[in-house]
Structure 1
């Protein structure tokens, strides 16, 4: 056994002898930190193929993105996705009606993780309501004629085979 392995073993033994609260503080200092968000990819249940997608225009307002936001402490991801969807667009959907996308989590290189959920609602029965501050505008867009998207939205949609990066590498 080499010296590095032996030292590593001794370090782990010492670490696990520490009280749980001390180990937790050490881990929080050493491990990279990530913000965790929830994203909703919502389709219009009434639209013919290829379908329509709900998008939002947020400040500064040059590109369009998906309903999304950070999770609150201890908030289940599907609950956060449903909450952000309602807050940002006025579309109300129960968390249990959202389906976890596959993959469900996307780790972004700049330090956040998005949990992604899929859903559909009939656009005619769900009027779009925005606050004019956090969200400037919301709309339903044909998947084959999407407006200018934020880079992150292009990446996320591309992972699920949608949008301009559907056939391109995601990073």
Structure 2
């Protein structure tokens, strides 16, 4: 098969992903985490967005952070997360970067359209988060992994006492 035809076939059948950048920003004094709320999401999330064509991921993370919260951090001051990429089931790959800033020196500024609220939260007392934010923070031990719902066991009568037996059953 000619290489141009082979390339066309690969482009048609290969999975396609959107690539984004996420900024996980902590207050250098308290360790609090910077979160934001968007009107279209049910919960708080991290500053993030899609990369522009040919944009370096750290540059995109710094840009999104500034656009969404007003907090400015130089891309060189952001540290890539380990792992640096999180793949979401919806076809998005997030590159993750960490940074710190003194919250008292970083006034928060939102537009009220794309972002409706922004704030600093203690890691051990986070507000309700979006599912993707929980998954991402759990990868870095900053949030508990979401519990997988378990089916309720049916109560059974114990052999002699008639009491409830929730033990293992075959």
The match for 1:55 among 12, 19, 35 is 35
Q: Report the counterpart of residue 92 of structure 1 in structure 2.
A: 72
The match for 1:149 among 129, 134, 140 is 129
CA RMSD of aligned residues (A): 1.6
Q: Report the counterpart of residue 161 of structure 2 in structure 1.
A: none
Q: Report the counterpart of residue 159 of structure 2 in structure 1.
A: none
Q: Report how many residues are paired.
A: 148
TM-score (ref. length: structure 2)? 0.82
Superposition misfits of 4+ residues, deviation over 2 angstroms: 22-26
Indicate conservation of the 8 Å contact 2:38/2:115, yes or no.
yes
The match for 2:90 among 87, 110, 119 is 110
Q: Which runs of 5+ in 1 are unaligned?
A: 1-13
Q: Report the counterpart of residue 41 of structure 1 in structure 2.
A: 24
Greater Rg over alpha carbons, structure = 2
Q: Which runs of 5+ in 2 are unaligned?
A: 149-170
Q: Aligned partners of 1:137 and 1:68: how far apart in 2? A: 14
Q: Aligned partners of 1:126 and 1:24: how far apart in 2? A: 48
Q: CA deviation at 1:61?
A: 5.4
